[in-house]
């Protein structure tokens, strides 16, 4: 924290969402097979990993810039919604229309169905424009969040190349990605990477899924330079983290009633970045990430709820620490 009289330079957090979406939330009493299911729209929100993170961080008072490719009426709507929330953004215009995702809740049963569609394809000129916009925004004091899937037409090593270039400028890169883009990005080395057990297996893990076995594998990846902070989220079991500074951490969440799973991972990343950027310890930042995810799944929508909710759940997060093996 700054000393009295010290000038605090605000950290700029840039987020990139290569496959943004316009998220529509709808409700129906019962899903009906082979007949019309009458629905009502409860909300429409801009979506996509980086956009969700930017909205969360903006609400926490951080200086953010959300960069995303967007086309057609949906792309324009996402930009308009962000500006209405006063979230700084830059839309890279594309030819194809940005897709729309659907979150359908059957109120009689409480079941939610999240229908996700393939993102709009990008030309080389368009994805290079996104790359240029990001590198122009990055600086030595800031963070870059690479979050979500790559759009069709974008090369698998796009995040990896971008992470390398951003690191050369002194930017701390945060990765939350899956699929073919994950391994190249980790090969370039990032500051923080958040993955799930499925993605851990994608990286070659074949252990017994006990925490100790996962932590040992994560330690190998950290030592190889994949990330300074490597996190594996485990749903209702919380999260594991291995750090380059020499610790293994296991965070267990408080019990909550699950309302939906939308935005949990993005809320996790948002609170971790917020607390790391403001001087919290790695363990405390992890605990806040777990609390934020718990808050998100126990609330409607795709954003992290208010500070009071997160703080209340943070008090119930348990963090255990063990030293790295030599």
What DSSP assignment string belongs to 168-225? HTTPEEEEE--GGGHHHHHHH-EEEEEE-HHHHHHTT--S---HHHHHHHHHHHHHTT
Amino acid 257: pLDDT: 82
Q: Which residues are catalytic?
A: 266
Phi, psi of 121, rounded to the nearest 5 degrees: -70, 145
**CB–CB of 69/120 below 8 Å?**
yes
**Domain at 17-172, CATH class:** alpha beta
317 Cα distance to chain centroid: 20
Average pLDDT over residues 279-296: 94
- At residue 2 the predicted structure's pLDDT band, cuts being 50, 70 and 90, is very low
Rg (CA), the chain: 19
DSSP letter string, 29-85: S---TTS----EEEEEEEESHHHHHHHHHHHTT-EEEEEEEE-HHHHHHHHHHHHHT
Low-confidence winner among 17-21, 53-57, 76-80, 177-181 (lowest mean pLDDT): 177-181
Q: If pLDDT is split at 50, 70 and 90, which confidence band does 42 have? A: confident
The CATH code that applies to domain 189-326 is: 3.40.1190.20
Residue 161, classified by CB atoms within 10 Å of its CB into exposed (0-12), middle (13-18) or buried (19+), is middle
Q: Report which DSSP code applies to 136.
A: H
Which tens digit of pLDDT belongs to each residue from 270-280? Answer: 999 999 999 99
Query: Which residues neighbour 83 within 8 Å (Cβ) at sequence distance 6 or greater?
Result: 89
Angle formed at CA 121 by CA 118 and CA 122, multiple of 5 degrees: 145
Collect all residues with Cβ–Cβ distance below 8 Å to 141 and sequence separation of at least 6: 9, 11, 12, 170
- Cβ(130)–Cβ(153) under 8 Å? no
Amino acid 34: pLDDT:
86
User: Is the confidence at residue 4, as pLDDT, over 60?
Assistant: no
Residues 6+ apart with CB under 8 A from 116: 21, 101
pLDDT, average across residues 276-292: 95
Say whether 292 sits in a helix, a strand or coil: helix
Q: Rounded to 5 degrees, what are φ and ψ at 119?
A: -70, 165
Which one, of 148, 16, 153, lies nearest residue 95 by Cα? 153
- Predicted local confidence at residue 21, as pLDDT: 95
The whole-number average pLDDT for the span 6-19 is 77
Dihedral of the CA atoms 272, 273, 278, 283 (nearest 10)? Answer: 30
Its pTM stands at: 0.91
**φ and ψ of 63, to 5 deg:** -90, 115
The 10s digit of each residue's pLDDT in 231-244 is: 999 988 999 999 99
Q: What percentage of the chain exceeds 90 in pLDDT?
A: 74
The pLDDT value given to residue 323: 63
φ/ψ of residue 174, rounded to 5: -115, 125
Least confident of 1-10, 27-36, 158-167, 261-270: 1-10
| 91/107: higher pLDDT | 91
pLDDT digits (tens, 9 = 90+) for 127-185: 999 999 999 999 888 999 999 999 999 999 999 999 999 999 999 999 999 899 999 99
First to last CA, the chain: 32
Q: How many residues does the chain have?
A: 326
Return the domain boundaries, the chain: 17-172, 189-326
Q: What is the pLDDT of residue 301?
A: 65
DSSP 87: -
128 φ/ψ angles, rounded to the nearest 5 degrees: -70, -30
Query: Do the domains 17-172 and 189-326 sit in the same CATH topology, yes or no?
Result: yes
Q: How far, in Å, CA of 145 to CA of 123, rounded?
A: 22
What is the average pLDDT score of the chain?
Answer: 91
* Tens-digit pLDDT profile for residues 186-202: 999 999 999 999 999 99
Rounded Cα distance, 102 and 48, in Å: 13
Compute the distance between CA of residue 163 and CA of residue 16 in angstroms, rounded to an integer. 11
């Amino acid at each position: 924290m700054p000393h009295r009289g010290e000038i605090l330079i605000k950290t700029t957090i840039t987020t990139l969402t290569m496959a943004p979406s316009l998220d529509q939330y709808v409700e129906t009493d019962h899903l009906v097979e082979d007949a019309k299911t009458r629905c009502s729209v409860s909300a429409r929100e801009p979506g996509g990993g980086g956009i969700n993170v930017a909205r969360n961080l903006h609400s926490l008072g951080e200086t953010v810039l959300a960069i995303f490719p967007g086309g057609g009426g949906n792309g324009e709507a996402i930009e308009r919604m962000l500006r209405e929330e006063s979230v700084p953004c830059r839309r890279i215009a594309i030819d194809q229309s940005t897709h729309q995702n659907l979150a359908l809740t059957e109120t009689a049963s409480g079941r939610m169905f999240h229908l996700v569609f393939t993102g709009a394809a990008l030309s080389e000129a368009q994805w290079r424009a996104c790359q240029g916009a990001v590198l122009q925004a990055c600086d030595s004091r800031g963070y870059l969040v690479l979050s979500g899937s790559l759009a069709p037409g974008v090369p698998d090593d796009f995040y990896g190349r971008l992470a390398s270039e951003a690191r050369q400028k002194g930017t701390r890169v945060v990765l939350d990605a899956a699929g073919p883009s994950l391994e190249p990005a980790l090969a370039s080395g990032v500051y923080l990477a958040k993955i799930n057990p499925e993605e851990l297996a994608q990286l070659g893990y074949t252990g017994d899924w006990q925490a100790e076995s996962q932590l040992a594998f994560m330690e190998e990846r950290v030592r190889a330079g994949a990330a300074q902070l490597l996190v594996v989220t485990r749903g209702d079991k919380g999260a594991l983290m291995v750090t380059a500074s020499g610790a293994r951490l296991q965070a267990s969440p408080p019990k909550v009633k699950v309302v939906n799973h939308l935005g949990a991972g993005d809320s996790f990343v948002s609170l971790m970045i917020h607390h790391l950027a403001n001087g919290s310890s790695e363990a405390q930042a992890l605990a806040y990430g777990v609390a934020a995810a718990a808050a998100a799944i126990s609330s409607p929508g795709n954003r992290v709820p208010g500070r009071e909710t997160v703080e209340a759940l943070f008090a119930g997060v348990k963090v255990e620490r063990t030293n790295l093996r030599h």
